[in-house]
Amino acid sequence: MTTATDAPEGRILGLDNIPLDLPLAGAGSRSLAAFLDYIVLAVVLFVFVVGGSFFAFFARPRGTWWIAFLILGLFLIEYGYFAGTEALTGGRTFGKRTLGLRVVTDSGGRPATGAYLIRNAVRTVDLLVGVPLMALDPKSRRLGDRLAGTLVVHERAEAELDVVLGRVPRSWGAREVAVLESFLLRASDLEPARAEALARELLAVIERDDPTFFDGVARDQDALMVLRTAVARP
């Protein structure tokens, strides 16, 4: 699979050269996710140190090996949190999961463990230059992403409420269909009076474009119901 180097931001060429638009995450959401992760990291480090201190106080271990383990543990937590959580969760740290972000390869696939290690090994450098780099790059990549060949994308909501149209007015194109679907999907969130008014407007447009569209549909109900009934029929 190849990436399209001159394609619009987030667009890659998938199997059979079919374009795929990856929903790229910008510098803002990524910085916020990193902020959340650093809070988690600070808490984990704090708990680790307090736990170690309690262990020393109550268990009174012989020798000083436990301090050595404590130092080693702190080192591993500090350097391993991001790479470890990304490798274990398929590219989602706590912060990324909270904001619905995920690390993918620049061809949209799942990165190898090595890629997670590379992108996080330069995190200290990215603390200085990462945000400006993301702001300047059309794909919002920080240094680690460039080295590892990764991107961070938004995960789209899985179970979107869907609308299934059984029929649409004869002369309508995709744009009009998209408006109708969008309205039917959101009508329940609108104020009833506003939804009814918009439904009446849509009924008028449909009657103008396809006068026979409402044949056989009872019109003695509110406009929204008439619309729903008419488009649902096969």
Partner 1 sequence: MEYVRFVRFRRSLWDDFEERLRSARTARLRHADLETLALRYRQVLHDHALAATRFPGTRVARRLARLAVEGTHTLQHDQGDRVATRFFSQRFPAAVRGLLPWFGVTLSLFLTALAFGFTLGVAQPGVGLGLLGPETVAGLSEGRLWTESLVTTVPPAIASTGIATNNMSVALTGWAGGALFGLGALYVVVLNGFMLGAILAATFHYSLGGRLLEFVSAHGPLEITLILATAAGGLAIGKSLVAAEDRPRAEAVRAASRQALVLLLGCLPWFLVLGIVEAFVSPAPGIPANVKLALGLALEGLFLTLAWNPFFKEA
- Beta partners for 53? none
Query: Looking at 40-48, 175-183, 200-208, 222-230, which segment touches partner 1 (CB under 8 A)?
Result: 175-183
Does position 4 interact with partner 1 (CB under 8 A)? The reply is no
Length of the chain measured in residues: 234
C-alpha–C-alpha distance, residues 19 and 2, integer Å: 11
Query: Looking at 48-56, 161-169, 192-200, 211-219, which segment touches partner 1 (CB under 8 A)?
Result: 161-169
CA distances from 230 to 91, 103, 198, 199, 217 (A): 45, 43, 16, 12, 6
Give me the 64-93 binding string for partner 1, x by CB under 8 A, dash otherwise: xx-xxx-xx--x---x--------------
CB of 120 to partner 1, least distance (A): 10
Tell me which amino acid residue 204 is.
A
Does position 114 interact with partner 1 (CB under 8 A)? The reply is yes
HSE-up of residue 212 (Cα within 13 Å, Cβ side)? 2
CB of 193 to partner 1, least distance (A): 25
- Beta partners for 150? 105
CB of 31 to partner 1, least distance (A): 19
Pick the binder of partner 1 from 23, 61, 192, 211 (CB under 8 A): 23
Note whether 113 and 84 are within 8 A (CB).
Answer: no
Pick the binder of partner 1 from 113, 135, 208, 222 (CB under 8 A): 113
Tell me which amino acid residue 128 is.
L
C-alpha–C-alpha distance, residues 196 and 21, integer Å: 35
Q: How many residues bind partner 1 (CB under 8 A)?
A: 65
C-alpha–C-alpha distance, residues 182 and 75, integer Å: 51
Which residues in this chain contact partner 1 in the complex, by CB under 8 A? 1, 5, 14-16, 18-23, 63-65, 67-69, 71-72, 75, 79, 102, 104-115, 117-118, 121-122, 124-125, 143, 146-149, 153, 156, 160, 162-168, 170, 172, 174-175, 177-178, 181-182, 185, 234
